[in-house]
Structure 1
Amino acid sequence: MKALTFPKSNRLLKPSDYSKVFDDVQLKVPHRNFLILAAPNTLGHARVGLIFSKKNLRHAVQRNRIKRQVRETFRLQPDLPALDIIVLGRQGLNHLENPDVRSSLNDIWRRVKKKYRQVIADQPDDNARSTE
């Protein structure tokens, strides 16, 4: 059985990791309660970073609850493409119950995968020409 962990290799840890995503956003997935920004990485797996402000979620308990939900739904997505993903919280998150947060996040991860396939399909295939 696979260990149910969330290792450091799956997280954006340094400010430079966040800056790379903010400077080179290639995927943007808006939602009523979340905003997803993503940029490709060369690691072969997805990483996630979380940004939830006190302005939108007043109490640490609320912020931590939402962060737990994001990490858990991310961990259960084995087929996410190799992206560095930042999840930003928007206003109104504190009014959502856990099942609603989970269903919103599962919908968002599905949309990230779909949008990634669209972006990749739209890009010219430079690798095919450079190997010739």
Structure 2
Amino acid sequence: MKALNFPKSHRLLRPADYGKVFDDVQLKVPHRNFLILATPNKLGHARVGLIFSKKNLKLAVQRNRIKRQVRETFRHQTDLPALDIIVLGRQGLADLENPLVRDSLNDLWRRLLKKHRQTQPTGNTAPETVSRGTD
């Protein structure tokens, strides 16, 4: 069984990493309490960055609780494609209980994966040619 860890290589760490996503948003998954922005990367695995403002989550305890939930659900997503992902918090997030936050995030990860698959070209991108016999 694969260990479910969350190394530094799976996090957006530098402001330039965040800027790359904000400048070139290719996937956007909205939700009442969250917004996910994503862009492809060339690393071969997904990375996540978190943005939760004091305006939406007043207390540090609330921000830390939500961040833990996001990291935990991200860690369990083993089938995410190579994307740089930013998770933003919206108002009303502080009022949600942990199971509801977890369910919302799992739904968002599923929707992100589905949206990514829809934007990918199919395996055969060349137009089909009809061969005609010259008998």
Structure 1-normalised TM-score?
0.90
Alignment of 1:55 onto 2:58: no
Q: Which residue does 1:8 correspond to in 2? A: 8
1:119 matched residue in structure 2: 119
Q: Deviations over 1:7-59 (max 9, x none)?
A: 00000000000000000000000000000000000000000000000000000
How many positions carry a matched residue from both structures? 125
Residue 105 of structure 1, CA deviation: 0.2
2:18 & 2:121 partners in 1: Cα distance? 26
Give me the identity figure in percent: 80
Matched, 1:90 2:118: no
Which consecutive residues of structure 1, in runs of 5 or more, have no partner in the other structure?
none
One-letter code of the match for 1:100? Answer: L
**How far did residue 74 of structure 1 move?**
0.2
**Which residue does 1:24 correspond to in 2?**
24
Partner deviation per Cα, 1:46-76 (whole Å, 9 max, x = no partner): 0000000000000000000000000000000
Partner Cα distance (1:50, 1:91) in 2: 15
Runs of 4+ in 1 over 6 A off after TM superposition: none
Structure of larger gyration radius: 2
Partner of 1:46: 46
Aligned-partner Cα distance in 2 for 1:85–1:97: 24
Once the 2 structures are TM-superposed, how far is the Cα of residue 85 of structure 1 from its aligned partner? Answer: 0.1
Secondary structure (helix, strand or coil) at the match of 1:121 reads coil
Corresponding residue number in structure 1 for 2:110: 110
Q: Which of the two has greater helix per residue?
A: 1
How far the C-alpha of 1:4 sits from its partner, in A, is: 3.5
Q: Structure 2: which 5+ residue stretches go unaligned?
A: 127-135
Matches of 1:34 and 1:49, distance apart in 2? 13
Q: What RMSD in Å do the two structures reach over aligned CA positions?
A: 1.5
Contact 2:4 2:76 in 1 (8 A): no
How much has 1:121 moved relative to structure 2? 3.0
